[in-house]
Amino acid sequence: MRRLGTWIPLVGLILGAPLDAMAEIQLGGYKLEGDIEVGSRYYIEEPSKSRKTKFEEYRDMTPGVVLDSLHLRFFSPDESYSAELYGSKWGYEDQNFGLTAERLGLWQFYFEWDQTPKVYSTNSRMLSTETDRGVFRLPTPRPPLFRHNSAPEIDEISTRWDTAKLGFGYSITPDMEVNAEYTRIHKDGDKPFSLAFGGPGGNFLEVLEPVDQTIHDFRLKFSLARENYQIQIGYGLSVFKNEFDRVIADNPCFANAAACGGTDGGAAAPRFGQISLPPDNVAHSFNIAAGVNLPMRTRLTANINYSLRLQNDDFLPHTVNPALAANPDLRLPQDSLNGNVQTVLVNLMATTRPLPKLTLSAKYRYYDMFDVSDVITFNKTVQNDRSITSEARRAGRWDYSKQNAEVGARYQLLPSVTVGTAVGWERWDRNFHREVEDSDEFFAKASVDVTPFDWLLVRGSYRPAFRRIAAYNSRAHSQHTVDEDATAAAQGQSILLRKFDEGERNEQRFDLQVQVTPFDGLSLTPTGSYRYDDYINSRLGLQEETSYSLGMDVTWNPHERVSFSAGYMHEHIDQKMRSRSRPVTGTTTFDFKDFEWVSSIIDSYDTFYAGLKVAIIPRVLEWSSGVNFAYSLGRLNTNNPVTPASGTAAQDASATAQSFPATEDRLIRLDASLRYHFWKQWTATLGYAFESFRKNDWHTDGLRPFMPGITSIWLGDDDRNYTAHIVGLRLGYRF
Amino acid sequence: MPGTLWKVVGLVSILLLVPLVGPAQQPPSTPPPAAPAPVPPGIIPPGLPAGYVGAETCKLCHDEQYRKFETTKMGRLFLKHPRNMVERLGCENCHGPGQKHFEAGGGKGIGGMITFAKNDPTPVAVRNDKCTSCHNRGPHMFWKGSPHEARDVACTSCHRLMEHTGHAQLAKGNEIETCGTCHLEKRAAQMRSSHMPLREGKMKCTSCHNPHGTVTPALLKEPSLNDTCFTCHAEKRGPFLWVHAPVNESCANCHDPHGSNHQAMLKMPKPRLCQQCHIESRHPTNPYGRNTGSLKFVLGRSCSSCHVNIHGSNHPSGFAFTR
C-alpha cells in the first residue's frame, strides 16, 4: 500500500483541481466538512535497529506514506445533529482514531481507539529458548556462562497498549445527566524480567515476562445540577485479567559448579525456578457527592467514596524443585488469599465570603484503607526454589488511615494585593506492622498575589511543615511476620534507621512566579521554587533532601505574522542518606560504627525549548520551527566518614564506599516546516526533523549477558545513542 | 536515498508551479466596522428579561466575534438551540445585560459589560461565577476551594471560548502548553529520559489530574494517588499475599510520575532507593562499587534483578518478593 501511496499526493493534486470549485459538500441532507492530510516520511539518516529503543519508545517511526490525519464532520443544516470521525497515523502501530455523534444539548456518543507501543529493548540477547509463553529452557548440561554472550539477538522486547473507550452521555433535562463509559485496555507483548536462583545475593537469570493483560473499566454516573445545589452518584467497576500466572526458567548454574562455583552452582542449585505474575483482581467503587450554595457566597461540598478490591487467584506451590516439593511443611494452609481490601474516603469542604474582600475555607479529608484479607501463616517457605527456610512466616495485612484538615483565609489588602494564609494537619494511623503507628504533621501556608500594574503579576507562597511521631518500633515488621528469635531480631532492621516516609521531618517550601507583560504581545514568566526536607532524628536513612528550580518562559508576538516562544528550566535535586554495612558471621550481626557510609545523590536537569512561527505571506506561506533540548546529570557520591577497619579484611572491603561515575543523558530535537496554502483549500507542507539522543550510564553501558566473574546472566539491554534526520512531505485538503 | 530525494524534489517542484496555473490567491481584506445603528424592530427576541437585548443585537456590531462564536459548541447551543431561558440569553448570559452598553453606543468598559479580558476590572471570582453557573457538575463540582480557584486563576486563563480552538477550548491548543504556562517545571519534566508518553501525545495532564478541583491532593482524579495509577496499572492493585508497605501507601514513595533520569521513573537510582529503608544485614547494607563482587547488585536492574515482584507478590514463598 505504501509503494502505491507514494503517488497519492500527486493523484490528489490532479483530482483536487475540480474539487476546488465545490463550496460545500452535501450528503443526504447533511453537510460535510473536514480535512485530510496525507504525508510521507523519509530518512536521510535512520537509527539502526539496535539503536531504536529510545527512538521508538512510544511511537512508530516507520518510513513511508502515512495518513497523518483525517477529520470529517457531518452535521445537520441547523447543527442540532453532528457526527465526527477523526484520527491520526492510520495504519501505524501508534495510530489513534475516534468517532463522536451528538444531538446538541441532549446526548453524546463517543468511541476512541488508541494504540501505544512501549519498546523496552532492541538489542538484547537470550540463550534460553521460550518453549511456551513464559517457559524458558536451557540445554542440559548447562553451557559455559560466556556462551550467553553469543546468544541469538531478540529483535525487539516490547508491548503494545490498545485502548478502546466507549461512552454515552444523556441530558435528561439541562440539569440532569447520566453518563456511562467503558474502557478496555489490552496490553500485549513482552517485558524484561528475571528469576533468582541462588541464596540471598546469589545468581539470577534475565528472561521475558509474557504480557497479555486486559483491564475492563466501566463507569456509570448520574448528576443533578440545580442553581443552588448539585448531587452526583457514581459507580465504577475495574476488572484486571492476566492470561499468564507464572514464568518458569531454567537455572544457568544448575550442576554447573565449574562456571558458577560451589555456592550458585553446587548441589543445592535448583534445576529451574517458578515465579508468580500479577493475579487477576476486581475493584468496585461507589461514590456520592453533593454541593450546595448558600448566602454570603458560601459553598459546602461533601464526597463519600467506598471501594472494594478483591483478589482470589489460586496460589502456586511453594516450589517446583522436586527435591523439596514433597516436604510436608510446605503444604499450603489454604488455596488462595481471599483478598479483600476496602477503602473509604470522606471529604468535606466549605468556602465562604462573609465580606467582599475576605474568603474563608475549611477542608477535612479522611481516607481509610483496611485490609480484611485472610492472615495466612506458612510453617515453612522456600527461598528461590533452592532451600527451605527455618522460620514460620505470617503474611500480615497492612491497614492505614490518613486524615487531612486545613483552614485558610484570603484577604484583599489592596486592589492589587491579596494575601492568604492557612494552617493544616495531616495524620497517619498505621497498624502494628509498620514502625510508626501514628504521626502528625502540621503545616502553615502563606501566599501573596500582587498585581501593582496591568503588566505585572507576582505570586509567592511559603509552606513550612513539621512531622512528629510518638514512637518508632524497628521490630514492628518482623515481630508480626516472623516467629522472632534473638537471631532474627539481631539480623533485622537497624534500630538506628528512620524510614523517610514515617520518620520525623521538617520541611520548607518556597514558590515564586512572576508574569510580566510589558506590552501586548510580550510575556515573560520567570519562576522559581525551593524545597528543603530535613529528616531529623534519623541516625540512619535519608537525612535530607534539597531541591530547587529556576526557569523562564518567554512568549513574544512582535507582529501579527510572527510568534516566538522560548523557555528554560534548571532543576536540582540533592538527597543525602546515611547507612551502615552490617555483616553477619554465624548468628552474630556486627554493628561497627566505622562501617557507616554516606551517599549524596545529586540529579540536575536543564531543559530548553524555543519555537518560531512566521506567516511569510499571510494565509499562503507559513514557516514553523522548534527546538527542544534536555540534559540530565546524575551523580552518586559515596564515602565512609571513617575508614572501615573493625572487621575482617573481607568485611572491611565490603563496607568500603566507592563513588560511582556520573550518568548523563541528552536529547535534542529540531523541527522545521514550510506550509504552503494554495487553491484555497489545499496545503502542502515540507518538513525536516533532527533528533539526537546521547547517554552515558555505567549501569547499562557495555552490559553484556555474561560479565566476567559474575554468575548472573542479563539480557544485556541498553538504551543506545541514536541520531535521526527525517524529511517529510504532507498534502492537506480542507473542505 | 537519491531516488527518494528526486521524488521529493519533483513533487515540491510541481506544487510550487501550482500557483501559476491555479486561481490567484488574494489576501482577504477586512471591511471597516459598521457604525452603530438603532436596534431594528423585531430583532430583540420576546420574553427576555429587562435590560437584555439579545444576541442578534450584539451581532450588529460584533459580527466577527459572533461568527467565530457560532462555530463553537457553546455558541451553537446558545445561539441556535437554547434549551432554557439562561441559554436563550446568548452572549449576555456571560457578558451581562447589554441594553445600557448598546444605548450608549458601545465601547470598551461601557455599560458594565464583563469582557473577560486580562484587564477586565470585574473581579476574577465574579467572572468565574459566570462559568460555574452552568459548569457546576461533573469535573467542575469541586471548583470552589480548589487550589486554582483559591489563587484567583480565571477560567479564561486556560480556556478560550469565543472561537473553536480544539480540545476543551484550551488557550494554547494543547494541555502541556496550557498547563505549562504556569507549571514550567512540569512542562520541562516531560522531556526527561524516563517518562510517560506525554510528549508523544499519548497522555495528557488530565489523564491523571482534574485542574478544576478534586477531593484528592494534587488535583488527582481518583480517591487516592494509588487509585489514579491503578487506572492503567491495575496489575499493581492486588491485594497481594505479601504486601510491600510503602507501595501500599503511595506509589510516589519511589516514583516521580512526571519523569526522572532513572529507570522506571524512580526518584533515586537503585540500589540507593532501596537502601534508604533497608538497613537489615548482609547484602542490602553494603555501599557497593564497581568491583566484581558488587556488579550484580548495581548493574542493569540492580535490586529488582532478584526482587522482581517488588510491588507485591501472591506466591506463598514470595515474602522477599523474589517469587
Per residue in B222-273, pLDDT tens? 999 999 999 999 999 999 999 999 999 999 999 999 999 999 999 999 999 9
Supply the mean pLDDT for chain A: 93
pLDDT at A665 over 90: yes
Helices (H), chain B: 2-21, 55-61, 63-70, 73-80, 85-88, 91-95, 99-103, 124-132, 147-150, 155-158, 175-180, 184-189, 225-230, 245-249, 272-275, 292-298
CB atoms within 10 A of CB A588: 10
User: What's the pLDDT at A485?
Assistant: 63
Q: Which candidate from A367, A499, A630 shows the least CB-CB separation from B277?
A: A499
* Nearest residue to A623 via CA among A580, A687, A569, A572: A687
Q: Are A74 and A30 in contact (CB under 8 A)?
A: yes
* A317 shares contact with chain B (CB less than 8 Å): yes
User: What's the pLDDT at B37?
Assistant: 55
pLDDT at B26 over 70: no
pLDDT at A208 over 50: yes
CB atoms within 10 A of CB B85: 11
Say what the ipTM of the complex is. Answer: 0.93
pLDDT at A235 over 90: yes
Higher pLDDT, A565 or B46: A565
Per residue in A383-431, pLDDT tens? 999 999 888 899 999 999 999 999 999 999 998 999 999 999 999 999 9
Q: Under 8 Å CB-to-CB from A132, ≥6 apart: which residues?
A: none
User: What's the pLDDT at A166?
Assistant: 98
Q: Which candidate from B188, B268, B281 shows the least CB-CB separation from A571?
A: B188
Q: Are A300 and A291 in contact (CB under 8 A)?
A: yes
Q: Which candidate from A94, A203, A349 shows the least CB-CB separation from B145?
A: A349
Q: How far is B143 from chain A (nearest CA, A)?
A: 10
User: What's the pLDDT at A479?
Assistant: 67
Per residue in A716-732, pLDDT tens? 999 999 999 999 999 99
User: Nearest 5°: CA angle at A659, between A653 and A664?
Assistant: 150
Amino acid at B5: L
Q: Which candidate from A223, A275, A699 shows the least CB-CB separation from B299?
A: A699
Contacts of B4 in chain A (CB under 8 A): 42
Whether B202 sits inside 8 A of A114 (CB atoms) is yes
Q: What is the mean pLDDT of residues A80-90?
A: 94
Q: What is the mean pLDDT of residues B184-195?
A: 95
Strand A135-137, strand A246-250: pairing: parallel
pLDDT at B173 over 90: no
Phi, psi angle pair for B109, to nearest 5°: 75, 5
- DSSP conformational letter for A175: T
Contacts of B200 in chain A (CB under 8 A): 57-59, 94, 116
Interface test with A, best of B144, B164, B199 (most A CBs within 10 A): B144
Contacts of A115 in chain B (CB under 8 A): none
Q: Which of residues 44-103 of A touch B (CB under 8 A)?
A: 44, 54, 57-59, 78-80, 94
Whether B275 sits inside 8 A of A577 (CB atoms) is yes
Whether A684 sits inside 8 A of B15 (CB atoms) is yes
Percentage of the residues of chain B whose pLDDT score is greater than 70: 87
Whether A381 sits inside 8 A of B319 (CB atoms) is yes
User: What's the pLDDT at A448?
Assistant: 96
User: What's the pLDDT at A588?
Assistant: 87
User: What's the pLDDT at A1?
Assistant: 41
DSSP assignment of A309-348 equals EEE-PBPPPS---HHHHT-GGG--SSSB--EEEEEEEEEE
Per residue in A592-639, pLDDT tens? 999 999 999 999 999 999 999 999 999 999 999 999 999 999 999 999
Interface test with A, best of B267, B276, B297 (most A CBs within 10 A): B276
Per residue in A503-554, pLDDT tens? 999 999 999 999 999 888 899 999 999 999 999 999 999 999 999 999 999 9
Choose from A75-84, A223-232, A303-312, B41-50 the range with maximum mean pLDDT.
A303-312
Amino acid at A682: W
Q: Under 8 Å CB-to-CB from A18, ≥6 apart: which residues?
A: none
Per residue in A128-157, pLDDT tens? 999 999 999 999 999 999 999 999 999 999
pLDDT band at residue A24 under the 50/70/90 scheme: low
Helix (H) or strand (E) holding A260: helix A257-264
Q: Which residue of A has its CA nearest to B253?
A: A501
Contacts of B19 in chain A (CB under 8 A): 678
* Nearest residue to A275 via CA among A344, A214, A206: A206
Contacts of A465 in chain B (CB under 8 A): none
Supply the mean pLDDT for chain B: 86
Q: How far is A318 from chain B (nearest CA, A)?
A: 5
User: What's the pLDDT at B39?
Assistant: 63
Cα–Cα distance, B92 to B53 (Å, whole number): 8
Contacts of B133 in chain A (CB under 8 A): 227
pLDDT at A681 over 50: yes
Contacts of A699 in chain B (CB under 8 A): 263, 269, 298-300, 302
Per residue in B298-318, pLDDT tens? 999 999 999 999 999 999 999
CB atoms within 10 A of CB A618: 12
Contacts of B11 in chain A (CB under 8 A): 9-10, 729
Bridge partners (DSSP) of residue A166 are A111, A182
User: What's the pLDDT at A28?
Assistant: 82
- DSSP conformational letter for B168: G
Q: Which candidate from A116, A275, A307 shows the least CB-CB separation from B308?
A: A275
Whether B316 sits inside 8 A of A684 (CB atoms) is no
pLDDT at A172 over 60: yes
Hunting for cell 453524546 — which residue is that? A108
pTM, whole model, 2 decimals? 0.91
User: What's the pLDDT at A200?
Assistant: 85
Per residue in A306-351, pLDDT tens? 999 999 999 999 999 999 999 999 999 999 999 999 999 999 999 9
Q: Under 8 Å CB-to-CB from A244, ≥6 apart: which residues?
A: A133, A134, A209, A210, A211, A212, A277
Q: How far is B52 from chain A (nearest CA, A)?
A: 20
Q: Are A247 and A274 in contact (CB under 8 A)?
A: yes
Cα–Cα distance, A133 to A188 (Å, whole number): 12
pLDDT at A18 over 60: no
Contacts of A283 in chain B (CB under 8 A): 230, 234, 237
Q: Which residue of B has its CA nearest to A16?
A: B22
Interface test with A, best of B174, B261, B278 (most A CBs within 10 A): B261
- DSSP conformational letter for B30: P
Contacts of B144 in chain A (CB under 8 A): 291, 299, 301, 349, 351
pLDDT band at residue A222 under the 50/70/90 scheme: very high
Whether B137 sits inside 8 A of A303 (CB atoms) is no
Whether A632 sits inside 8 A of B193 (CB atoms) is yes
Cα–Cα distance, A592 to A643 (Å, whole number): 11
pLDDT band at residue A483 under the 50/70/90 scheme: low
Q: Are A394 and A480 in contact (CB under 8 A)?
A: yes
User: What's the pLDDT at A309?
Assistant: 98
pLDDT at A644 over 80: yes
Taking CB atoms and an 8 Å cut-off, how many pairs form between chains A and B? 441
Amino acid at A435: E
Inter-residue long-range contacts of B284-287, CB under 8 Å, 24+ positions, other chains counted: B285/A494, B285/A579, B285/A580, B285/A581, B285/A582, B286/A581, B286/A654, B286/A655, B287/A579, B287/A581, B287/A597, B287/A599, B287/A638, B287/A640, B287/A655, B287/A656, B287/A657, B287/A658
Q: Which candidate from A285, A491, A540 shows the least CB-CB separation from B281?
A: A491
* Nearest residue to A547 via CA among A598, A513, A510: A510
- DSSP conformational letter for B322: -
CB atoms within 10 A of CB A119: 22
DSSP assignment of A540-609 equals BEEEEEEEEEEEEEEEEEEETTEEEEEEEEEEEEEEEEEEE---EETTEEP--GGGEEEEEEEEEEEEEE
**What's the CA dihedral at A677, A680, A681, A687 to 10 degrees?**
0
Q: Under 8 Å CB-to-CB from A266, ≥6 apart: which residues?
A: A257
Hunting for cell 540507593 — which residue is that? B272
Contacts of B299 in chain A (CB under 8 A): 699-700, 703, 707, 714
Q: How far is CA B188 from CA A555, A662, A665, in A?
A: 16, 21, 15
Per residue in A442-480, pLDDT tens? 999 999 999 998 899 999 999 999 999 999 998 887 766
Per residue in B110-155, pLDDT tens? 888 999 987 788 889 899 999 998 898 889 999 999 999 998 899 9
Q: What is the mean pLDDT of residues A186-196?
A: 97
Q: Under 8 Å CB-to-CB from A234, ≥6 apart: which residues?
A: A219, A220, A221, A222, A285, A286, A287, A288, A289
Q: What is the mean pLDDT of residues B208-231?
A: 96
pLDDT at A58 over 80: yes
Contacts of B7 in chain A (CB under 8 A): 6
Helix (H) or strand (E) holding A366: strand A358-371
Cα–Cα distance, A75 to A77 (Å, whole number): 6
Q: What is the mean pLDDT of residues A684-693?
A: 98
Q: How far is A141 from chain B (nearest CA, A)?
A: 24
* A218 shares contact with chain B (CB less than 8 Å): no
Q: Roughly how many angstroms between the first and final C-alpha of chain A, as a whole number? A: 25
Q: Which residue of A has its CA nearest to B240?
A: A339
Q: How far is CA A178 from CA A167, A181, A447, A592, B138, in A?
A: 11, 10, 39, 66, 10
pLDDT band at residue A710 under the 50/70/90 scheme: very high
Cα–Cα distance, A703 to A725 (Å, whole number): 28
Percentage of the residues of chain A whose pLDDT score is greater than 70: 95
Between A4-13, A214-223, A676-685, B231-240, the lowest mean confidence (pLDDT) is in A4-13
**What's the CA dihedral at A482, A483, A486, A489 to 10 degrees?**
20
Q: How far is CA B15 from CA A13, A14, A43, A63, A683, in A?
A: 8, 11, 21, 22, 10
User: Nearest 5°: CA angle at A706, between A700 and A709?
Assistant: 105
Bridge partners (DSSP) of residue A638 are A599
pLDDT at B3 over 80: no
Inter-residue long-range contacts of B99-108, CB under 8 Å, 24+ positions, other chains counted: B99/B50, B99/B51, B99/B52, B99/B53, B100/B51, B102/B36, B102/B39, B102/B53, B102/B57, B105/B36, B106/B36, B106/B61
Whether B300 sits inside 8 A of A700 (CB atoms) is yes
User: What's the pLDDT at B14?
Assistant: 46
Contacts of B137 in chain A (CB under 8 A): 177, 223-225, 230, 232
Residue A498 CA from chain centroid, whole number: 27
